[in-house]
Amino acid sequence: MIRPEVFAVEPWCVPERELDLELVGHTESVFALSNGHIGLRGNLDEAEPSGAPGTFLNGFYEVRPLPYAEAAYGYPEAGQTMINVTNGKIIRLLVDDEPFDVRYGRLVRHERLLDLRDGVLRREVEWLSPAGQGVRVRSTRLVSFVQRSVAAIAYEVEPLGAAARIVIQSELVANEPVPEETDDPRAAAALRAPLVAEHHAHSDLRANLVHRARASQLRMAAGMDHVVEGPEGTVTASESEPDLARVTVSTELQPGQTLRIVKLLAYGWSSRRSLPALRGQVDAALAAARRTGWDGLRRGQREYLDGVWDRADVQLEGDPALQQAVRFALFHVVQAGARAEGRAIPAKGLTGSGYDGHTFWDMEAYTLPVLTYVAPNAARDALCWRHATMDLAQARARELGLGGVTFPWRTIRGQECSGYWPAGTAAFHINADVADAVRRYLAATGDQEFEEGPGLDLLVATARLWRSLGHHGLQGDFRIDGVTGPDEYTALVDNNVYTNLMAARNLRVAADVAARHPQRAAALDVDQEEIASWRDAADAMVVPFDADLQVTPQCENFTRYRKWDFETTRQDQYPLLLHFHNYLLYSSQIVKQADLVFALYACGDCFDDEQKVRDFDYYERITVRDSSLSAAIQAIVAAEVGHLELAYDLFGETAFIDLRNLAFNTRDGVHLAALAGAWLVAVAGFGGMRHHGQTLAFAPRLPSRLSRLTFGLLHRGQRLRVDVGPDGAQYELLDGEPLEILHHGEAVTVAPGSPQRRPLAPAPRRVAPEAPPGREPPRRHRDA
């Protein structure tokens, strides 16, 4: 784990006061910048040393083989891997012919700061070369939220103590060596130097490179331009070759003089556009960025984020470190989807190559619930990406002998890329997660155009899947057998409760929306008989129940599985999937991540309060949280049933997942779903927000260490602010028409200029259940 002092606690930034080369891979992910279209890892400007280079374009990937010892029908034959594209971050510095390298000479001072208000990464360095010449280097990097194809770097150098000869080499570099993360030589070969050069050019201070991916044949272009401010006598030169373009700036600086370079970067890619078209796109983006200028790009960045924080900031009193972590989390979630526009949101965003850059159910179940209330246009764009891949999902369903669509478990373009089908293809719940994201977006925005178009298409296609996947049993009940729920330690089961409840909601919402738009539904060949069959299946859906234990089994007969021997399980045997065979995991009462507990949250209107208490107690004792997805959901339900201090500890676990490297793999990219979970715990956990129907409901309660919680969200275009303190909860509508909400079940109408305050319902006094031995969350109240 990362020591708390590595990143100093500040409310609106994440500062690193000194450079630790042992942590360089970790900090590259933490300091990554993105706008959802372009992603730049937080590599040092000079590129070395690095944990892993990283310049990513959303949706740009290479194809690699998926090898099987024993192949079978329906197994995907090829995978997709997000690849490191042309790196434009590199700015090399030579001081009196000595390359600036933090590993040599003397590093007097080195600070970096991720500014969450300005949306930039700042760096300030003082360095003595091996020959004793001192320099101060300042750089500021951004990926534009306003001009989505553009990134920019402002780089300044000044000598310290004596005059110095300064040379700066600003580069575009393709096919950088990257660590090989696979033991299969065929897959490794596919990812080694994956870009094939097609064009290179340079002129004055501009240069561009065009490449195509060797196997996927996707084409991308990268371009750079520069604004140079230096003393008289400063000279420049440019050059290019297939995998390298360079602009060189040379000068001599006296003490007090500064060489300043603004580097403008532009990227474009396409599966269809020609080389001249892509080159022209990049040139146009550079021209627009040059016209806007560095100051204009900075202003646009700040204005965009001012809007985000104004409507969506979460304020916590009583725990400054957690306050910083929650804002850091929301920043990463927003930048992952801000300008994705027609692309998916990967599980790591564009911060690292973990999970091959794939998108999972995380997007709809974790990330979109945040974006729906914070940046609804980004949520709409992500759902439109799903809609754009429906042809592939329909083809996959037909391959499996099913109706409707089967969305992939993991993918970049839309084809299934999971080679392990029990945890992949069998996890059909992803289709209900997509449908629920549609339902939530429609309830939160009232977007009629989307409802009648892509929304209805997605709801109908997923409803048809459930009608074909499930079947009516001998007693008329509707069963969904042989599936895998969110808990990947319990695979290929009958009637997983989360899956069944989400499928039932999917069927009902599809029926309702189709009934509201009969002409559009008819164009999809939906008739009254099919709508009735959806309602019948939903009403007859099987939800197992153990009458002896009075708990809800995660799936049929789950509470009869063998119990796991936690006492003899060593700490070094977690995560269990690396030390125990799947057969043992699949046949035991051991839970990797929230599954039935997820149903208590997502489908909470299907359980009464006492049932939630009993179910949470049962599953908390057997959930090992071998996935970063789990802590947030457990925290939300813990807060709802009254275990506020446990919820607070779990809140810390999900919020600090990357700042403290709690999963020991942040070097591969941030855990976007867990970071989204930090917002969800604040708003849905301690704020008690639920949106099961058309009305927003709140049931706020605070743990003892938090004296106040304030958060904002968008609903139907209106800005609502909720302020929870020891004296009650205040609901304030900042604009728009009066809004009816629920506060602990009481209807409250909020109008602009007329905030409403209500007392908090007391939390029930309960003894919190114990986690499995050694799997307790870090005790947040001690840290706080």
Q: Which residues are catalytic?
A: 488
CB 123 within 8 A of CB 137: yes
Closest C-alpha among 408, 517, 503 to residue 455: 517
H or E stretch covering 259: strand 259-270
Cα–Cα dist 21/336, whole Å: 26
Strand partners, 549: none
Count CA within 13 A, CB hemisphere, residue 273: 16
> Residue 455, SS3?
helix
> Residue 164, SS3?
strand
Provide the H-helix boundaries in 423-485: 429-445, 448-450, 456-469
Cα–Cα dist 415/65, whole Å: 13
Cβ neighbors of 572 (< 8 A, separation 6 or more) are: none
Q: What is the 3-state secondary structure (H, E, C) of 316-363?
A: EECCHHHHHHHHHHHHHHHHHHCCCCCCCCCCCCCCCCHHHHCECCHH
H or E stretch covering 632: helix 630-641
Chain-centroid distance, C-alpha 185 = 30
CB 407 within 8 A of CB 393: yes
- Cis status, amide bond into 575, omega within 30 of 0: yes
Cα–Cα dist 495/103, whole Å: 58
Cα–Cα dist 465/393, whole Å: 11
Cα–Cα dist 515/529, whole Å: 12
Cβ neighbors of 617 (< 8 A, separation 6 or more) are: 769
| Structure tokens that stand for 72 in this block | 């079978």
DSSP secondary structure letter of residue 754: B
- Cα-only R_g, the chain: 27
**Tokens 């800005």 label which residue?**
719
CB 697 within 8 A of CB 648: no
CB 325 within 8 A of CB 678: yes
Chain-centroid distance, C-alpha 292 = 30
Cα–Cα dist 63/44, whole Å: 29
Q: How many CB atoms lie within 10 A of CB 130?
A: 11
| Structure tokens that stand for 364 in this block | 């709809």
Cα–Cα dist 434/368, whole Å: 10
Can you list the pairs that 471-477 forms with residues at least 24 positions away whose Cβ atoms lie under 8 Å? Answer: 472/537, 472/540, 473/542, 476/540, 477/540, 477/541, 477/542
Chain-centroid distance, C-alpha 491 = 25
- SS percent in the chain: helix, strand, coil, step 5: 35, 25, 40
